[in-house]
Amino acid sequence: MMRQLITFRIGAQSLAVDIMATREIRAWSPTTPLPHAAGFVRGVLDLRGIVLPVIDLSARLGWGDCDPTPRHVVMVMQIGDRPYGLIVDAVSDIATIDSADVQAPPELGRDGDHDLVKGIVTIQGEMVMILDLDRLAGDCPLPEETPLAA
């Protein structure tokens, strides 16, 4: 079965998510920090009156905190029943892949309950990690989606 992914970069790494979960790509803008939020939650943004939690994807993947600049972007993703923002270095392309070409990530002594990569695929000669969005936001307890006060 064919499926479409949107690919992006964090440093030298290529990653991808299902294009159907992608709502929009926004320029980086500073966030408002939340007290007691997980270390990888950068804060929140106002997305047309909705509180948008923003995840530092580099930190979430264990690659160190991102120091966002105007060149970074926020990918707005629909994860479950709420939108989340993911800070990434750059969005690359839209790729159509055959699901049969996706390989499971190797078991390298990691805890499967916290695995954020659900597959690896080669796209134009480059290995691309496909992220599991549900697990990505799963450890991100935030208040229910609420409109910002007027």
Enumerate the domain spans of the chain: 2-138
Q: Hey, what's the torsion of the CAs at 15, 112, 76, 51, to 10 degrees?
A: -150
* Cα distance between residue 138 and residue 69, in whole Å: 27
Per-residue tokens: 93: 């392309």
For residue range 102-131, list pLDDT tens digits in order: 999 887 655 544 589 999 999 999 999 999
CATH 2.40.50.180 fits 2-138, yes or no: yes
Per residue in 35-89, pLDDT tens? 988 989 999 999 999 999 999 999 999 999 999 999 999 999 999 889 999 999 9
Query: Does the pLDDT value for residue 138 go beyond 50?
Result: yes
Asked whether 84 and 137 are in contact (CB, 8 A), the reply is yes
Residue 57: which H helix or E strand, with range? helix 57-60
Residue 145 has pLDDT above 50, yes or no: no
Percent of the chain with pLDDT over 90: 75
pLDDT tens digits, 4-40: 999 999 999 999 999 999 999 999 999 999 998 898 9
Q: How far is CA 121 from CA 2, 16, 57, 108, 125, in A?
A: 13, 9, 20, 18, 10
The pTM for the full model equals: 0.86
Q: What does DSSP say about strands 90-98 and 2-10: parallel, antiparallel, or unpaired?
A: antiparallel
Q: Give the whole-angstrom CA distance, residue 113 versus residue 64.
A: 21
Phi and psi at residue 60, to the nearest 5°? -60, -35
Q: How far is CA 5 from the centre of its chain?
A: 12
